[in-house]
């Protein structure tokens, strides 16, 4: 045996030993991971079952509570919803006017609003415009909020709108301007 073959033999042996140690390490690591994963899924299954049981009990309680409404409560509910107590039905009669028919601001119907109005706000604090693109607002004014043409134009905390009174008088949106949102309250 030459010196080179002896060194090669030792190196192969060391490599083999190293490989066996690494394989053992990987085997134990993967076994540990498998045990932990099994434990995790077992605990999650128990929690899922507990949540299902709780939801079932809540549903039963809700059904029990709705079933225990007394006849007097039914008659009170029926009187409040325009239903006669003798019907015993949970179905209410539709109101004679819809919500859209009765929604009126300053004596005017909301049907006259321009297209594109998002919602209305009521001014709760006076605001004096400090720039030519701002609205001058007095407490109690109603403002029709409009969407910004470009989202880049909108500053945080500011809205774009036109005074409702201006819209009803002129039927145009040329007097629109920005105003601080925190000076208003949504109607």
Beta bridge mates, 163: 143
What integer pLDDT is reported at residue 115 of this predicted model?
81
What integer pLDDT is reported at residue 145 of this predicted model?
92
| Ordered strands of the 184-186 beta sheet | 177-180, 158-163, 142-146, 119-123, 184-186
Rounded average pLDDT over 6-28? 76
Q: Which residue stretches of the chain are H helix?
A: 3-67, 71-80, 99-102, 164-170
**Topology (CATH level 3) of domain 99-186:** SH3 type barrels. (2.30.30)
| H or E, element range at 136 | none
Rounded average pLDDT over 142-160? 88
The model's pTM: 0.42
Q: Helices (H), strands (E): how many in the chain?
A: 4, 7
Least confident of 12-16, 45-49, 75-79: 75-79
Q: Give pLDDT tens digits for 87-139.
A: 444 444 444 443 333 344 444 445 566 788 889 999 999 999 998 889 999 99
What integer pLDDT is reported at residue 106 of this predicted model?
45
């Amino acid at each position: 045996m030459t010196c080179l073959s002896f060194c090669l033999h030792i190196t192969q042996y060391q490599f083999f030993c190293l490989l066996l140690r690494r394989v053992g390490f990987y085997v134990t690591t993967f076994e540990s991971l498998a045990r932990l994963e099994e434990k995790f899924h077992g605990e999650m299954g128990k929690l899922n079952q507990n949540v299902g049981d709780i939801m079932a009990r809540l549903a039963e309680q809700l059904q029990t509570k709705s079933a225990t409404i007394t006849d007097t409560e039914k008659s009170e509910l029926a009187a409040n919803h325009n239903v006669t107590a003798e019907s015993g039905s949970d179905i209410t009669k539709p109101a004679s006017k819809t919500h859209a028919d009765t929604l009126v601001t300053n004596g005017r119907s909301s049907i006259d609003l321009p297209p594109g109005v998002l919602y209305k706000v009521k001014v709760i604090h006076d605001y004096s415009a400090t720039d030519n693109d701002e609205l001058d607002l007095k407490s109690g004014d109603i403002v029709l909020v409009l969407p910004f043409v470009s989202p880049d134009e909108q500053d945080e905390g500011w809205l774009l709108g036109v005074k409702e009174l201006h819209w009803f008088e002129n039927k145009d949106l040329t007097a629109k301007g920005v105003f601080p949102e925190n000076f208003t309250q949504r109607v």
